[in-house]
Every structure is written in C-alpha cells, then in structure tokens.
Amino acid sequence: HDLDVIKGVKGVYKATGATIEIGEVKFDNTIEYFSVFGVPTDSESLSLIKTIDFFLIEDGREFGNGETGKVIVGYKVALEGFDKEIRKGHRLKVKGDDFKVIALQKKTGSPIHDNMVRIPIDEARALFDRANDEFTTIFIKVGASEDPAVVAEDIKKAMRRDHGVKE
C-alpha cells in the first residue's frame, strides 16, 4: 500500500519496491551469507532499476519481464565471495533454490551493493516468507523538473497522513 501512496505524490516519476534479506548462498559446495535483493521483473519496474547506479550490469543482462530462476551477482560476491570466481552461466543456490547466473554487476564501491545477489521479487518473497505486497525498501525517481527535497517532504507528509501519524 505504501508504494501506491508514494506513486500518487506529485513529482514522483517512477517508484518500485524491493525486499532485502540476509540469506544463505551456496556455490561450488561452499556456503556464505550475503544480502539477497528481491526485485520486481515487470517491465515498468525494470525500466527504473536499469537507471540505478548500484544495479548496473558489467557482464550479462538485466532480468527479462517476469523471468524466474535467474540471479544477478554483485561484484565482490562474484570475485571474492567464494574460493572460485562466479561467472555468467554458473549455477548457485539461494536458501536451497537453484538459480542460473545471468549477469555480474559493476563495482559500486559500496560494501552492501557489491556483496549482494539479486533475484526476482516473487522468488525472494517465497524464500523469505514475505507477503506479496511487502517491501523492505522503495526506490523512487523524481521528475526531471522537480526539486527532490520538495518531493521528499511531500512523500513524508503523504505517508504520515496515510498512517495517521502527526508531524
């Protein structure tokens, strides 16, 4: 519901939600724990995700519309997360489910984003027992002619109003 409230705020050009959990990732018989980002794979959400710096692809491709069973691996996970380097086409398990690596992300310099794996949100929700309308984070793109600070304040006001919270 929060996502719909945010999308209705003047100045919000695009918005989409994601889930972030810490999860078990197994590759080459080794288990490690990384941030698992569940991201939508519908075309509208993907058009926003493709513009977010810490989701940029270095090798491979972004998820396709409605795609499942695929994973995009963060820079450090691919190069340093396991004894063996992860490459496009390899298979790994996230919480026991099998995924094929379709891309490696560009280095961001951010420990959180370089140490993540990204899977389709429906699969993340199933693996981590999340409700279908639940997000842990929301990404927003403000219209080109809008002041981000003003839009941020308007979002805060809309959320407070919707949740019955006084300023």
pLDDT per position as a tens digit, 64-74: 998 999 999 99
The rounded distance, in Å, linking the Cα atoms of 60 and 66 is: 17
The helix, strand and coil proportions of the chain, stated in percent and rounded to the nearest 5, come to: 30, 35, 35
**166: pLDDT confidence band, cut at 50, 70 and 90?**
confident
The answer on pLDDT for 52 being more than 80 is yes
Burial class of residue 84 in the structure, from the number of CB atoms within 10 Å of its CB (0-12 exposed, 13-18 middle, 19+ buried): exposed
- Which helix (DSSP H) or strand (DSSP E) does residue 43 occupy? helix 43-49
Q: Where are the beta strands (DSSP E) in the chain?
A: 12-27, 30-39, 57-60, 70-73, 91-94, 97-105, 116-120, 137-142
The predicted pLDDT at position 80 comes to 96
Name the nearest CA neighbour of 128 among 33, 35, 23, 56.
23
The rounded distance, in Å, linking the Cα atoms of 105 and 27 is: 17
pLDDT tens digits, residue range 116-164? 999 999 999 999 999 888 899 999 999 999 999 999 999 999 999 999 9
The predicted pLDDT at position 33 comes to 98
Give SS3 for 2. Answer: helix
Name the nearest CA neighbour of 85 among 74, 77, 95.
77
pLDDT tens digits, residue range 3-46? 999 999 999 999 999 999 999 999 999 999 999 999 999 999 99
Say if residues 32 and 4 touch (Cβ distance below 8 Å). Answer: no
